[in-house]
Structure 1
């Protein structure tokens, strides 16, 4: 044996690497599709449970009975959203012609600092309305609506050791029934 042959390290097989990458890609695609599906179903179930009896969280348990995580409802948020900047800018200019809260470019816009202030006022009021500080009149604001700005969702909080317990349950086959859909035949999206 030559000195060169003795110092060479074993080289990973390109075929083995290609196979491993293909398998992991398929698994990742199927996991992503399954996660999207179960997350949507969980959200619908949490929304229904919250509406029915006020439930906002539920435990996640392994088939062996250990609680590994808690799934908790996160409420969405609503607030003012500008839907027609041009209409809003025209209205601001007409309502407060002496103030320099708008600027003319190709179209009139509200200066960002003033828009942020107005949106904050509307957010606090929960309506697309402003109070004229001079007259006290409540003004409807065109080009702005109050609508969801962040979807209602849920999150997972792992218990201490929960990830490790779940990984062990996966490794030992305890989760085979829960993971069957991922490894079943058929094409992933």
Structure 2
């Protein structure tokens, strides 16, 4: 698996190997993965979805994304921060999302922490402050790390600010998804496309 390079699809475009099996993954890869987001709700959504993805396939989360948006009030931080035990039980009974109490509790905890973080610049500013310097294009899948010193530092900073379920691997996935790092493989037609 580590030696996989960009794969050319039937449309003649080369893509990262993970984006070549299903149309929904291809569309996400081509339109969103590695593209900068803006605004608290967008950052909170990506943080929450990456936390829910931990231990699961990204496609599982991608297919449930509309349900997650509905369940978590379009990731409005103030609304989710007000969720109580009744809301947690409601979410635990919602088969359209991933029903993991630890992850649901973490989403509510993280919304409350994001509200508190506004006095120090907010969630977006905290994540952007940990953006690494651009590196060389990974040639093969095995060149892409699971975590980095920057994702470890972000994990520690978020935990110190009261966030939960924000380990360094999950934070590196957040950095990849939001364009803080460009891990599109060398030859992938999206390499460099999402950078500001």
TM norm structure 2: 0.21
| Greater relative contact order (Cα < 8 A, sep 6+) | 2
Radius of gyration: which is bigger?
1
More helix by share: 2
TM norm structure 1: 0.22
